[in-house]
Every structure is written in C-alpha cells, then in structure tokens.
C-alpha cells in the first residue's frame, strides 16, 4: 500500500513533464553532461595509481565512524595533504559534498546567528541551513546590494554562503567583493568550491586560491566527485573549525567513514591534479569558443544565459520543458549527451540545457554541438 498523496505528487510531476527518472547514458555518446571535467573518472593513470596504492590491502569497509574504528593514519595523512594543497590550516573529510554542506551548515551557525546565502546555492547547502537553528535569508543571485539589504536584519555571528562556480548557471560569485565586504563587516565567508576545485588555481587548488583570497574565506567545501573524478569531500579552514566539526557535526560523527578504496582514489587524483595544466587550459579554450559562438550569433545569445562564463559549465536556455527535452533527445540521436535541467532543480521557467565542457572534448565536437543547437532550437523564438 502506498499513501495516495505520494501517488498524486508523482502524477502531478508526470503531467508537467518533470518526473525524474534514472537514465543510463547510451554508450558511445560524446559526453557534454558529466561533471568529470578533467576526465579523471575514466583515467587509466588514475586506475594504475589506485591499484598500486591498494595492492595487497583487503580492507573494504571502514568498519565504523571516524570517531570509533573508522579512523586511520591514512585518512589523517590525507587530510593533512589536503589542507596543505588548499593552503589551509586543516581539512576534515566527509563522505560526500552533500554530507559536508549538511554537516557544516547544521552545526557551525547556531541559534542567535544568521546565514545569508545566495538563492542559487546548492540543495545540500539549503538542507544544512534548514537543519540549522540560525536564522537565514536568501539574497538574490550574485547581488551584493541585496546581500547588504538582508544584512540589516542580521544578528549574532553572520555567515555568508556562496558557491565559487555555480553548478547550474556556470557563472562565478563576485568573490573579491564578497571577501572585502565580509572583512569590513566581520562576516564569515563560506565558499562551496564543488565545481571549481581542480579547475582553477595554478595547480587546481580552486578559485579562492587563484584569487588569493584564502585568508579572507573562513571555510571552503572541496568536493571530489567532479573534477577529481572520485567521491567524497572535505571542509578546509582553521584548525579550530576542524576540531569543532568533529565534535559537533552530526553528518561527520554518525556515519561510517569512507573506505580505504575511496581515500586511495582521492589521494591518487590529487597526485595527478597539479600536472594537468594542459587539460585546464584546454577547458578554458573550449569555454572561450562557446562564448564566442553565443556572441557571434547575437540573436541566439538569448539562449546562453545572462552571465559571462569562462568555466566548464555552460547553458542553453529554451522556454518550455517539452522543447528542451526534444532538443536533448535530438542531440542524443546525433551522438551527444547533453541533458536538460528542469524544475525544481532550477526555478520553473528557467529550465535549460546544462552543457558541460571537458578536457577530453575537442573543438570539433563543440562546434558540431553548437551547430546542432542552432539548427534545432525552435524558430518561433528566433
Ligand atoms: N555542492 C555543489 C555546489 C554541488 O553541485 C554538489 C553536487 N552536485 C554538491 C555540493 C554535493 O556534492 P556531492 O556530489 O559530492 O555530494
């Protein structure tokens, strides 16, 4: 027996054409969809390194929480290396970026405090904020004026939460201005670097390091499931923050730790990361080419979203869920995997194709994709 209400909600989504379903990527499609920006998830070099690291070791599960049997010298050495790499005092591993955000926001900002967060922030930040006893206000996406307005209602310790590279819009936060404001007003800036980790910075340390803002940022959430091609996450920041989280963050405490295989994959991915200059440069070139394409076809830039983007996440906006789904289907038939992002992942009316560029995509593939986008976007809007 299933409650009637659940069935009604599913039916409602189906009627709007936004019912979520699991899809297996068709084999052989050119990947313009995954978050494997640098191609590490399928890198034979990474596989070799991990196999060598794990050789002869049969410990599959971590056997408990980090605070009980799940800790290891290996995990602690990895955390020290992560802190060093990201120019932070300390790092604490979480099982995923989702867990890191929930663990951070539900424990660090407390009753009497205030969280001001960008409205386009990831669901995991919002879920952590919902679990927190602090009051919270969303400010308009990348809008510092609105942030200042909301700041008037703030009390206690004030946390400002943003992403460095936004996952669904592909634009970046005005980190410099945010850092200045936070410093001037004594606010704690928290930056989710899920999509910028590995991509920006001389060795892939993230956007905060690239911009030289590490001193002004209180905490960074670095995830490993995207450019690092692995899984898991770490909160990096002051030593006292690490100590606080391992004492009070329930998403860290009450869960089985990452298994050795995951730790070894993260370690190996970080070993490769600094050398991937060409991959990072190629990504920038692809982003530039997509930008030029949308600029040149001025009328079509309607579809590219408003913000300038120079990162791996690009968008193509079409009004109407049906038209978007059809476009994605047409692209798949032509050999390209590019998926529509629908409500409620993005606000209704702003559905878009999320086009993800990768170091392994060629300029030719991108040009083919662009031609298909032009060819198959409905003429009524042009
Ligand atoms: N933060 C952001 C900005 C994300 O886009 C995501 C994943 N989509 C997460 C956190 C969650 O990371 P993970 O997939 O490692 O749980």
ipTM over 0.85: yes
**Residue 298 pLDDT > 80, yes or no?**
no
Q: What is the mean pLDDT of residues 204-225?
A: 98
Q: How many angstroms does the Cα of residue 222 sit away from the middle of ligand 1?
A: 9
Q: Average pLDDT, whole number, for the chain? A: 94
Residues 6+ apart with CB under 8 A from 260: 54, 57, 59, 60, 62, 72, 74
Provide the pLDDT confidence category of residue 377 given band limits of 50, 70 and 90.
confident
pLDDT at 295 over 70: yes
- Asked if 206 and 193 touch (Cβ cutoff 8 Å), the reply is yes
Give yes or no for residue 382 having a pLDDT over 60.
no
Q: Do residues 221 and 338 share a domain?
A: no
pLDDT confidence band for 349 (50 / 70 / 90): confident
Mean pLDDT of the 252-258 span: 98
- Residue 284 belongs to some domain of the structure: yes
**Do residues 238 and 112 share a domain?**
yes
306 and 261, same structural domain?
no
Among residues 258, 274, 290, the one where a domain terminates is 274
Closest ligand 1 atom, residue 35 Cα: 8
Ligand 1 pocket, mutate which of 94, 95, 225 (most atoms under 8 A from CB): 225
| pLDDT at residue 359, as a whole number | 98
pLDDT above 50 for 301: no
The predicted structure's pLDDT at residue 294: 81
Query: Is 243 within a domain?
Result: yes
Q: Is residue 201 part of a domain?
A: yes
In this prediction, what percent of the chain has a pLDDT beyond 70? Answer: 95
Whole-number Å distance, alpha carbon 381 to ligand 1 midpoint, is: 33
Q: Which of 147, 140, 84 is nearest to 114 (CA)?
A: 147
Domain boundary among 206, 239, 274: 274
The pLDDT of residue 381: 44
CA of 77: how far to CAs of 72, 96, 103, 274, 323, in Å?
A: 9, 19, 21, 18, 50
Contact (CB, 8 A) for 316 and 373: yes
Do 288 and 362 lie in a common domain? yes
Residues of the chain with pLDDT > 90, as a percent, come to 84
Asked if residue 83 and residue 35 are part of one domain, the reply reads no
Domain membership flag for residue 218: yes
Ligand 1 binding pocket includes 192 (Cβ within 6 Å): yes
The answer to the question of residue 360 being in a domain is: yes
Lay out the sheet containing 352-356: strands in order across. 313-317, 352-356, 339-341
In whole angstroms, what is the distance from residue 32 CA to residue 362 CA?
Answer: 11
Q: How far apart are CA 110 and CA 92, in angstroms?
A: 20
Give the CATH number of the domain where residue 190 resides.
3.40.640.10
CA distance 379 to 382: 5
* Cα 52 to ligand 1 centre (Å): 28
Domain shared by 76 and 210, yes or no: yes
Q: Please report whether residue 91 resides in a domain.
A: yes
| Res. 47: pLDDT tops 90 | yes
Q: Comparing C-alpha atoms, which of 364, 362, 78, 40 is closest to residue 199?
A: 40
Q: Are residues 118 and 259 in the same domain?
A: yes
Q: Which of 365, 325, 364, 359 is nearest to 341 (CA)?
A: 325
Least confidently predicted of 48-57, 287-296, 300-309: 300-309
* Domain CATH for 359: 3.90.1150.10
Is 345 within the bounds of a domain? yes
pLDDT of amino acid 378: 64
333 has pLDDT over 70? yes
Provide the pLDDT confidence category of residue 380 given band limits of 50, 70 and 90: very low
Average pLDDT over residues 131-145: 98
CA 335/CA 242 separation, integer angstroms: 46
pLDDT tens digits for 150-193? 999 999 999 999 999 999 999 999 999 999 999 999 999 999 99
**Count of domains forming the chain:** 2
Residue 300 is predicted with a pLDDT of 52
233 in contact with ligand 1, CB cutoff 6 A: yes
Whether 109 and 134 have beta carbons less than 8 Å apart is answered as yes
Which pLDDT score is estimated for 23? 84
Q: Are residues 265 and 130 in the same domain?
A: yes
Summarised one tens digit per residue, pLDDT across range 50-93 is 999 998 786 689 999 999 999 999 999 999 999 999 999 999 99
Q: Would you say residue 21 lies in a domain?
A: no
162 & 294 share domain? no
Q: What is the mean pLDDT of residues 196-201?
A: 98
- Same-domain status, 75 and 208: yes
Domain endpoint, select from 259, 274, 289: 274
Q: Using 50, 70 and 90 to split pLDDT, how confident is the model at 118?
A: very high
pLDDT category of residue 97 using cuts at 50, 70 and 90: very high
Expressed as residue numbers, the domain containing 186 is 59-274
Domain identity same for 86 and 201: yes
| Distance in Å, CA 163 to ligand 1 centroid | 10
Determine whether the shortest distance from the Cβ of 193 to ligand 1 is under 6 A: no
Query: What's the 3-state SS for 193-204?
Result: CCCCCCCCCCCC
Ligand 1 centroid–CA 376 distance in Å is 31
Q: Which atom of ligand 1 is nearest to the CA of 166?
A: 3
Give SS3 for 114: strand
Is 188 in the same domain as 325?
Answer: no
> How confident is the model at residue 24, as a pLDDT?
83
Residue nearest to atom 14 of ligand 1 (CA): 97
């Amino acid at each position: 027996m299933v409650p009637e209400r659940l069935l009604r909600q599913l039916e409602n989504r189906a009627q709007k054409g936004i019912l979520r379903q699991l899809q297996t990527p068709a084999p052989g499609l050119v990947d313009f969809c995954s978050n494997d920006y640098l191609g590490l998830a399928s890198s034979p070099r990474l596989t070799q390194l991990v196999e060598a690291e794990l050789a002869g070791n049969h410990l599959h599960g971590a056997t408990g929480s980090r605070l009980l049997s799940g800790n290891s010298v290996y995990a602690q050495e990895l955390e020290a290396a992560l802190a060093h790499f990201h120019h932070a005092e300390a790092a604490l591993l979480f099982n995923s970026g989702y867990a890191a955000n929930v663990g951070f926001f539900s424990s660090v900002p407390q009753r009497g405090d205030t969280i001001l967060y960008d409205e386009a922030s990831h669901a995991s930040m919002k879920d952590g904020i919902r679990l927190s006893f602090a009051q919270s206000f969303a400010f308009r996406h990348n809008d510092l004026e609105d942030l200042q307005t909301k700041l008037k209602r703030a009390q206690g310790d004030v946390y400002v939460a943003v992403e460095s590279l936004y996952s669904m819009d592909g634009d970046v936060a005005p980190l410099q201005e945010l850092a200045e404001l936070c410093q001037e007003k004594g606010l704690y800036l928290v930056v989710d670097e899920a999509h910028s980790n590995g991509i920006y910075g001389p060795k892939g340390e993230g956007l905060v390091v690239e911009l030289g803002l590490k001193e002004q940022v209180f905490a960074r959430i670095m995830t490993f499931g995207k450019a690092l091609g692995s899984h898991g996450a770490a909160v990096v920041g002051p030593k006292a923050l690490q100590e606080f989280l391992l004492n009070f963050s329930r998403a860290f405490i009450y869960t089985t730790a990452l298994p050795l295989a995951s730790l070894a994959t993260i370690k190996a991915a970080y070993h490769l990361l600094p050398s991937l200059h060409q991959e990072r440069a190629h990504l920038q070139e692809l982003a530039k080419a997509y930008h030029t394409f949308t600029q040149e076809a001025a009328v079509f830039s309607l579809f590219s979203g408003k913000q300038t983007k120079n990162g791996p996440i690009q968008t193509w906006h079409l009004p109407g869920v049906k038209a978007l789904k059809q476009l994605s289907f047409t692209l798949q038939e032509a050999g390209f995997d590019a998926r529509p992002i629908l409500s409620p992942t993005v606000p209704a009316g702003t559905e878009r194709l999320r086009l993800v560029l990768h170091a392994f995509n060629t300029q030719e593939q991108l040009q083919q994709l662009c031609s298909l986008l032009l060819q198959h976007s409905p003429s009524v809007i042009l």
